[in-house]
Amino acid sequence: MIVADQKPLNELKSLTRGGENVLVVGCGTCVTVCFAGGAREAAITASSLRMAFKLDGNSRQVSDVTVQRQCEWEYLDQIAEQVKEADVVLSLGCGVGVQAIAEHFPETWVVPGLNTSFMGMPTEQGVWAERCAACGDCILGLTGGICPIARCSKSLLNGPCGGSEGGHCEVNPETPCAWQLIYDRLTGMGKLDVLMEIQPPKNWRAARDGGPRKIVREDLRLAKEEE
Amino acid sequence: MEHVRNILQQIGLEPERVEMVNLSSAMAGEFVAAATQMTERIKTMGKNPLRSDLLGDRHTESER
């Protein structure tokens, strides 16, 4: 899932300044699961803003609504009327959701309520950890299902480095060394020979280094109307 | 509870306005002590500055 974190209330007040009618838009997918921007968080944020505005002595209107997914047009269509009435939309979606609202409603001023952090998973209740860097050229099949791009601080392809100590990373001692995890897992499964295979250079053009990325599936596209 | 207190602080209200106490039904003395302590604390802090506004939001004229 995409994992995000809420911005402080003072920043939200600053981002929404100038708007008399604020609409907080939650998202029912990733940010709901990580307790950052779902229906509950949207309601709490709207309520918090209302109280903060009243304490500041102004009477700005704040309402909230949550869509199933902010990153798809058809779900955004459902809130078109509410968005139209708002002076500013405070999106509690990830960065994709914020941009989807901005693109779908070009006349609307939209600001982010979250800091989108990473793609990851909950490792225990209340703890989320990064697991994928979306590099576009997955090598998990070579590393025992543990990603050195996302989980090694240096994204090394030939680790561990000299900074691996006692199974932990020199960059942050709380971070397990990804290459130690890979080595231990492959050893345990009797597949250490996988690491002996010579690999060609990784294709970094599929990562962010090649600029903004796009996937086109011609088989899924709607047929163009005959002219 | 820590999260709620953090939100209250960000809003501009005293986080001490909310407290959670775990008590069993056999702890009457502790309940009275906690309630008394909370009452004294709230009296010291004064009324919730949002109270009248919040009531206005939540109740119709007929309910008041």
Its ipTM equals 0.76
* Residue A205 is assigned to a structural domain of this protein: no
* Residue A31 is assigned to a structural domain of this protein: yes
C-alpha gyration radius of chain B: 15
pLDDT score of B53: 52
pLDDT score of B61: 39
pLDDT score of A35: 97
Q: Verify that A31 and A101 share a domain, yes or no.
A: yes
Flag whether pLDDT at B62 surpasses 80: no
* Residue A103 is assigned to a structural domain of this protein: yes
Residue A27, strand partner residues: A67
Q: Verify that A18 and A88 share a domain, yes or no.
A: yes
% helix, strand, coil for chain B, step of 5: 65, 0, 35
pLDDT score of B6: 96
* Residue A216 is assigned to a structural domain of this protein: no
pLDDT tens for A128-145 read 999 999 999 999 999 999
> Chain A contacts of B55, Cβ < 8 Å?
none
Q: Verify that A103 and A29 share a domain, yes or no.
A: yes
* Residue A130 is assigned to a structural domain of this protein: no
Q: Verify that A164 and A193 share a domain, yes or no.
A: yes
Which candidate, A148, A156, A116, A109, places its Cα nearest to that of A132?
A: A148
A138 touches chain B (CB under 8 A): no
Q: Say if the Cβ atoms of B50 and A55 lie within 8 Å.
A: yes
Tens of pLDDT along chain A (227 residues) come to 999 999 999 999 999 999 999 999 999 999 999 999 999 999 999 999 999 999 998 889 999 999 999 999 999 999 999 999 999 999 999 999 999 999 999 999 999 999 999 999 999 999 999 999 999 999 999 999 999 999 999 999 999 999 999 999 999 999 999 999 999 999 999 999 999 999 999 999 999 888 999 999 999 998 876 65
CA torsion, ordered A61, A68, A130, A158, to nearest 10 deg: -130
Q: At what angle do helices A39-55 and B2-11 cross, to 10 degrees?
A: 40
pLDDT score of B52: 66
Q: How many CB pairs under 8 A join A and B?
A: 24
| Residue A83, domain extent | 2-117
Q: Mean pLDDT for chain B?
A: 84
Q: Verify that A27 and A72 share a domain, yes or no.
A: yes
* Residue A227 is assigned to a structural domain of this protein: no
Q: Which residue has the tokens 């009477």?
A: A59
Q: Say if the Cβ atoms of B53 and A52 lie within 8 Å.
A: no
